[in-house]
Amino acid sequence: MKYDKLVLVLNCGSSSLKFSIIDTVEKKVYLSGLAERLYLKDTRLIWSTSHSSKKNIILFNKEIDHNEILKIIKKEILFKNKELFNRIGVIGHRVVHGGRYIKKTTIIDKKVISHIHEASIFSPLHNPINLLGINFSLENFPKLYKRNVAVFDTSFFYSMKEKSYLYAIPYSLYNDYGIRKYGAHGTSHKYVCMKASTFLKKPFSNINIISCHLGNGSSISAIKNGICVDTSMGLTPLEGLVMGTRSGDIDPSIIFFMYEKLHYTIKEINELLINKSGLLGLSQSTSDFRDLELNYYSDERAKLAIDIFCFRLRKYISSYFSLMDGELDGIVFTGGIGENSSLVREKSLKNLSWFGNIFVDYKKNNNSFKKNDNLIIDISKNSNVPILVIPTDEEFAIAKESFSLFF
């Protein structure tokens, strides 16, 4: 069978689902869409095609899960664009965690699915959802059964040295069970690093940046000479920054206290740290950053949640300066929050001027940033270090890597 060269990308996130049909050779997006606020009472589905400027929107007055939204996307979008759908030759899937065995982009088979499932213990909020997208694709698009590809967020971080990825626990736990720092959002960090390289006119192999991917899940990476030397997420996507519903860094003894003194079960602790903490836990109202930002000046808990989010981010940015040996080409903000929240960019860079004259141009920072323009904006002013807002495009990166395995 002859296959066309378009790539269908399914990027199943913890609270969203992005999908695209992309020609990576012509760098053309024929169809793109987003299902957001999944599992909330106002889920919405937005999509558009290249032959129309119209945005199509379906609003739901109920909670929608990933399985249901995938069925809707298949019926109402993909199958109603049959001519376009028939040109798909590859399906690319984002997978957060490859575990200790999968270190690069790979064609999906039963063994790969088994490894993704095993790695779910390290990414319980994501890998099972990534598998939902994979299994849906395998079951519903049989002609492309052997042309499904998994692109792993963890792949970018295998360049880290032992001093970065090992925990100070008995070495046998790493040697026997693979307990180490794996990172996440690698596809996004690598993509914006490449875009920064082009923008700054510096070879990718020489680029040094601090990349901040901020969204419902957030992470920060120190990238030196195009290689990641450290990242905030760890064995699982729970470590590091404050996130939508995840706690980020905590004292491990808190777990023992909750278990021994407060009589939480292990299952309850796990649920609390992954699904009930972060911005949601601090604000006691929502995990959606847009809602919190709207109420920043009127709601004390919303303000507290954002202030802690930015405080933690600023600490990480500061610490990653020390890994650059005085050679930092830029600080990058990306992801839903990084690209759209001028408040976060301002607060997280506050008082960093002593790190080589880092200053924000408040006018540029506060201008409306339109992701559809696909522009890179430097929001620095009289600064030795550029501060770049780069729209991430994980879907294009996934499509490109998936395409490369077949064509």
Burial state string for 282-313 with b = 16 or more CB within 10 A and e = fewer than 16: bbeebbbbeebbebeeeeeebbbbbeebbebb
Name 58's bridge partners. Answer: 45
4 is catalytic: no
| 83/66 Cα distance (integer angstroms) | 25
| 194/323 Cα distance (integer angstroms) | 20
Q: Give the SS3 label for residue 283.
A: helix
Taken in order 135, 106, 97, 18, is the CA torsion positive or negative?
negative
Q: Give the SS3 label for residue 55.
A: coil
Residues 6+ apart with CB under 8 A from 115: 98, 99, 101, 102
| Helix ranges restricted to H, 235-288 | 253-260, 266-275, 278-283
By C-alpha distance, which of 187, 228, 188 is closest to 207?
A: 228
* Separate counts of helices (H) and strands (E) for the chain: 16, 14
Out of 23, 153, 249, 251, pick the active-site residue: 153
Half-sphere exposure of 176 (CA within 13 A, CB side): 5
Active site residues: 153
